[in-house]
Amino acid sequence: MTATQPPSPPQPPQPPYQTSLLTAQHCVGHVHLILGANPLAAARANSSLAAGAKPILIAPPPTTTSSPPSSSAQQDQEQQQQPPPPPPLHYTLTSLIASGALTHLARPFTPADLFTLGRPEVDGVVDAVFESQGRAGLAALAALCRRHRIPLNVVDAPALCSFSLLSVHADGPLQIGVTTNGRGCKLAGRIRREVAAGLPPGLGAAVQRLGEARRRILSADAGGAGEAGDAVADEGVDDSVDQPAGLNRLVREDDAEAARTRRMRWLAQVCEYWPLRRLAAITDEDVEAVLRSYRGGGAGEGESGWKLSQPGGGGGGGQQQQQQRGRVILAGSGPGHPDLLTRATYKAIQTADLVLADKLVPAGVLDLIPRRTPVSIARKFPGNADRAQEELLEQALDGVRAGKTVLRLKQGDPFIYGRGGEEVAFFRQHGLGDRVVVLPGITSSLSAPLFAGIPPTQRDVADQVLVCTGTGKKGRAPQPPEYVGSRTAVFLMGLHRIEGLVAELTAYTEEEKEQQQQQQQEQGRGSELGGSNSVPVPEQQQDGRRRRTLWPLDTPCAVIERASCPDQRVIRTTLRFVAEAIEQEGSRPPGLLVVGHACEALYTPEKGRSWVVEDGFKGLDLDLATGFASAGFGVAGVA
């Protein structure tokens, strides 16, 4: 009789993706090889320098020699046979080379560089290679690096990479990295910004203070042994491990060993239980208090100045809601920051029975909606905007007819390219005109320039402001405005077609060219009939109107994205380079374009740079003692 083997337990299904082992490399003194001359190479160089490494850039100089003239056929044949000329060095790379922070070898890369440019203690082998340009022979380079265990990162070629870089938020010693392992379609940057936006300011400095407290406690509790006593006195410093099980273990008076490390335990309690905002506000005096003494009892006993508050149970009473039912409120949520809501809109958010929000209403505003309130977000995407608008209006009709207070929450101001007027007309057509209330909001067309340090009007610079749409109905191009030297033009909904918008501003449209051609033909016929008395007027159209004055390509402009949000970004450039800047820097909607000399009223462009990127929003600090002084101009977000 043979014994049968018990069936093996079922194996868990394998996920359809491969995760990575995330590590933090200590790169002080390491040699990093950077291949390429583009903005990505510049970003890699900055990251390497920030980690304390020694980057070496290998990029041949751009070709400047000119060949003697030859026939067209010969030129075509030579262009096909010759490789494309190397691109010029990015501005940031040039600056780093000039400062001495970056070593530049102005020649093509050779495989021998992997084994001769590194540190002597590792026999000249480089510590990592970053390929940012894309070149022939990448597979051979990857095989060579793999054979010699040299870490390699290749742009847009995950199969050739032995490691990838994370989307990193850095605040002093605190670093937070996000990766989607190549599957996120640029989602890692968005997630990183959202995570960073949720952190209190000053958390990195708090990490530095608490780390210094830990070092001093270790030194004292180990009897002067310093870091050598970590194994005895510390509760664990590995970032990949959570707090140990003994975190809340009772310390008895007769336990001398536990009593010796009680200050370290108290520090661990502070790190575990204090709210992050309280931790971020920790001062040097707080650290000294921890070092001087330890108060017994539970975590937080004897502490003052902070407490956790539970969220409230909801908004106003039923009687108040009963009085406000059966109407629709069109309200603007402002440019993005919840502190920029009007009090009327905030009250409407708290008391509404149903919230119908546009897609661009920021998360900080949506977070103010009570949990009990149903929320519907517009399903607007290219090609579905009209249908999504109809769905929201139908939901609003049903809600109002059911006796509910329906809040139509919009970004900015409802009547500034928010279709608010169309919605009022819609409800009037359905006999609900007297049940509509419209609440204004701060429009981004005027507040976004403010947060970017751009005064749309300023004496001797700009005396008029024109707010335009960059996209007409059904996606058609709108009539472009003419250039006026003292005008500031703000274009909403235009960044997704920035190339077309710039072309329409700086050159005549096809329709205008046809009108000019017809005018010239009419003038020619008039000249034949009237003889020499008929003189054509090139600047005058046939209907008596002047021809549109075109915008110069060197007109200053600024792209402002996610104004007043934590991940606000400003790109300062000119009409000549704005399309290229957006192409290289990417998109961070919603955004708008400001054009005019007001863009340089409080900003002096740096010579030699095509554009400058300013990332982040300093917040709305209204502390008169510090906020306005740090803001420089008394305007949040301006340095």
Low-confidence ranges of the chain (pLDDT < 50): 224-235, 295-325, 532-538, 624-639
**Sign of dihedral through CA atoms 314, 318, 323, 324?**
positive
Q: What sign results for the dihedral spanned by CA atoms 91, 94, 100, 106? A: positive
How far is residue 351's CA from residue 368's CA, in Å, rounded to a whole number? 11
Give buried/exposed letters for 31-45 (b at 16+ CB in 10 A, else e): bbbbbbbbebbbbbb
Residue 250, pLDDT score: 57
Return the biggest CA–CA distance within the chain: 124
pLDDT in the model for residue 299? 34
Hey, CA dihedral for 383, 388, 393, 394, is it positive or negative?
positive
Residues β-bridged to residue 130: 34, 153
For 123-157, what is each residue's pLDDT tens digit?
Answer: 999 999 999 987 778 999 999 999 999 999 998 88
CATH numbers and ranges of domains, the chain: 31-63+81-165 (3.40.50.720), 203-292 (no CATH), 322-442 (3.40.1010.10), 446-509+550-631 (3.30.950.10)
How long a stretch of residues is the chain?
639
Helices in 293-384 by DSSP H: which ranges? 318-324, 343-351, 363-366
Task: Give the pLDDT confidence of 174-209 residue by residue, as tens digits.
Answer: 999 999 988 876 789 889 988 998 899 899 999 999
Tokens of residue 38, six digits: 């583009």
Contacts of 593 (CB under 8 A, 6+ apart): 470, 490, 491, 494, 495, 498, 501, 557, 558, 559, 560, 578
pLDDT of 319: 42
> Whole-angstrom Cα distance, residue 425 to residue 397?
13
What is the rounded distance in angstroms from the CA atom of residue 569 to the CA atom of residue 613? 7
In the block, tokens 């917040």 appear at 619
* Backbone φ and ψ of 182, nearest 5°: 80, 10
Instruction: With CA atoms as reference, report the closest residue to 597 among 444, 450, 485, 481.
Output: 485
Global pTM value: 0.66
What is the predicted pLDDT for the residue at 308?
A: 27
